[in-house]
Amino acid sequence: MKQKPYCRYNSTSVPNFLKAIGCLLRRDLTVALRRSTDVLTPLVFFIIVVSLFPLGLGPEPSVLRTIAPGVIWVAALLATMLSLNRLFANDHADGTLEQMALSPHPLTVLVLTKVAAHWMLTGLPLVLISPLLAVQMNLPESAMGTLILSLLLGTPVLSLLGAVGAALTLGLRGGGVLVSLLVLPLYTPVLIFGAGAVAGVIAGIDVEAHFSLLAAFLALALTLTPWAAAAALRVSLD
């Protein structure tokens, strides 16, 4: 039985443009859910990394409470990096990426749609599971909301920055290692202010500045990274 195509790029009108975005988002989600290991691997990695610290350091509540913000944020960062290699690789292998580049729709918007799908499959599950791991790390209830909000602001930035690295290393041998080397320095400010916001709440410090900077990072990433990733994809496809 012939499978019905997910998207048809046949017009530049606004309704069809929005329909194409919806089709691309639905396609990426459907394909990823069919490959359940791609979705579960970052989540399981995140859970295992955070769970190892209480086993290694012992159940001392004060110690776990002190390191909890940094541990959870570093684990989320590494889990996001683990999934970056598949952001464009599968589409490049089956020729879908070339069709996207030749479509009448802006490649920047299509890239942003793929990043949104990546965050929904990787970043959002990390945000949802983080409160359970925070309880394991003896994080105070007063800091739970701050943890969730910081991850909601920070994980999309990780996906957006990662898209640039994935596009630059597309088709290269050992691209997964190169992506990590490229994006890790860019991830550092997000890690500092994300974990710092949670640690500040625990210490009773005002964290409004941390959230303002995370929101600024997100706005800047939404503005610049789709253009950079689209340009890198065009270079990689040539």
d(Cα 95, Cα 113) in Å, to the nearest integer? Answer: 18
Distance CA 156, CA 177 (A): 21
* Sequence-ordered list of residues with C-beta below 8 angstroms from that of 103, at least 6 positions apart, any chain: 9, 20, 110
Phi-psi region of 174 (alpha: psi -120 to 50; beta: other; left: phi over 0): left
- Let me know if residue 130 belongs to a domain: yes
Q: Report the predicted TM-score, pTM, of the whole model to 2 decimal places.
A: 0.88
Q: What does the alpha-carbon distance between residue 118 and residue 126 come to, in Å, rounded to a whole number?
A: 12
Is 126 domain-assigned? Answer: yes
Residue 5 inside a domain? The answer is no
117-156: pLDDT as tens digits: 999 999 999 999 999 999 999 999 989 999 999 999 999 9
Is 196 a member of any domain? Answer: yes
Domain count, the chain: 1
Residue 211 lies in a domain: yes
Alpha carbons 56 and 107: distance in angstroms, whole number: 46
4: in domain? no
Kindly report the backbone phi and psi dihedral angles of residue 36, in degrees, each rounded to the nearest multiple of 5, phi listed first. Answer: -60, -30
Task: Quick: pLDDT tens for 189-229.
Answer: 999 999 999 999 999 999 999 999 999 999 999 999 999 99
27 found inside a domain: yes
Q: What is the pLDDT of residues 46-70, one digit of tens each?
A: 999 999 999 888 888 889 999 999 9
Q: Which domain does 186 fall in, by range?
A: 14-237
